[in-house]
Amino acid sequence: MLTETHVLDAMRHIIDPDLGRDIVSLGFIKNLKIDEGDIAFTVELTTPACPVKDKFKAECEAAVAQLPGVTSVKVTMSAMAPKTKPGPQINTLDNVDTVVAISSCKGGVGKSTVAAFLARAMQREGLRVGLLDIDIYGPSLPTLMRDPRPQVYMQNERIQPVVVDGLKTMSLGYLMGDKPAVMRGPMVSNYTMQILRQTDWGELDYLLIDMPPGTGDIQLTLVQQAALDGAVIVTTPQALSLVDVARGIHMFESVNVPVLGIVENMAYFVCDQCDKKHYIFGSSTHTLQERFGLGVLAELPLLPGLQEAAEKSAGQDYPAFAEMADQLHRQVGMRRIEGDQKPIVTPEKGKVHIEWPDGTESRIPNKTLRASCQCALCVDEFTNAPILNPQTIPEDIQVESIQPLGNYAVGINWSDNHSSGIFSWQHLRKVAGLET
């Protein structure tokens, strides 16, 4: 006789590639029903955009079908509802599954272009996508969509998105046209919140918000009000850009918005004579991962023909955009799983104490850890040569505060007024002698 245990055990070999655990222990199997030989259940994934949902469905059907006595298998795929987020809720986002900010802390890194082509890549997957441009001083969306003055109207006291080849869009640039935005901070914040609160997005799988560059009042207001699922930081290999990445991470984490990953734009170009990648600004992908503990969602080259994204096909010739979308789906899914274990980092007298998830403990002397800082003030961005002279670090240096940064790192404020260092778990393990 078939039992629930038989059915569940048949699927314990199906492993989620991102979480590293089987879908049964993760609690993905819901509403299991057994009617003699007819088996029906739901596979509830972390996000409706899960890139391996078709694979999971096929593997579940095959695994259960081979059990003795099974005559039919019905698998329904669904996704868990987003967690209720703290703070004020915006009812125009009630039917939006995932809200992600596309951010840069420095202008000129191609953030708006990345946001637009990422939205198109998601749309080609069959997802319902919206793109909101809230850069009031330099809106790029009207130019990218080749629609500088569309007819914007309201219905039932809601602003209706401008639909461009199936993509729902809205930008303050649609309303202002070519006029410069001559206004002060409070007025800018009011306009930003008005367009966010009043745009009728309807049902969406993703809303991408193209943020204005920087870490000021407008950005903080938005991330506190919009209840973001996460943020993506766009940067370039230049040293100044990487310095600002740390500021962006601290800003988002200070308001409990997880940073999902980094996009390195204009990282290289491919020679049309030798097909070789040339990193004209230096390669910093490894540096980004080690320094900030965050994965690089995409390393985008200098590409021609990315001036407009008015059609659904925009960017389809460049696999990097589809790969970026895939990596983003995975990161969103991983963040929605509760109970992720992470190290506990606390200050002790003269040391930093780390309790690792496996029970191992490490104690790193303050001066040793401070000397290992990999921030741009302590290590040259291109040569990786140390800038900080360890002899200048006070022998009695103390930890002033420790700020957890999501599931990937901590930020430490030191008594020598240094606060820009981000210490990833991998880096802490190396300094502690647990990894080479």
Q: What is the pLDDT of residues 60-101, one digit of tens each?
A: 999 999 999 999 999 999 887 765 554 455 667 888 889 999
Domain boundaries, the chain: 4-79, 91-335, 344-431
How do residues 210-267 score in pLDDT, each as one tens digit?
A: 988 766 666 766 776 777 888 998 888 766 566 677 777 777 876 778 888 888 888 7
Architecture of the domain whose range is 4-79: 2-Layer Sandwich (3.30)
* pLDDT score recorded for residue 86: 47
91-335: which CATH number, 3.10.350.10, 3.30.70.590, 3.40.50.300, 3.40.50.1100? 3.40.50.300
Give the C-alpha separation, 333 to 335, whole Å.
5
Give the C-alpha separation, 154 to 77, whole Å.
36
The model's confidence at residue 374, banded by pLDDT at 50, 70 and 90, is confident
Class of the 344-431 domain?
A: alpha beta
- CB of 393 closer than 8 Å to CB of 381: no
- CB of 41 closer than 8 Å to CB of 31: yes
Name the pTM for this structure.
0.74
Give the C-alpha separation, 42 to 269, whole Å.
45
Where is 112: in which H helix or E strand?
helix 111-124
Task: For residue 424, give both structure tokens.
Answer: 């990833």
Task: For residue 141, give both structure tokens.
Answer: 């969306």
Residue with tokens 């999501």: 406
Question: 423 has which bridge partners?
Answer: 410
Closest to 2 measured CA to CA, from 28, 41, 45, 57: 41
User: Is a pLDDT exceeding 60 seen at residue 183?
Assistant: no
151-165, 217-231, 360-374, 410-424: least confident range? 217-231
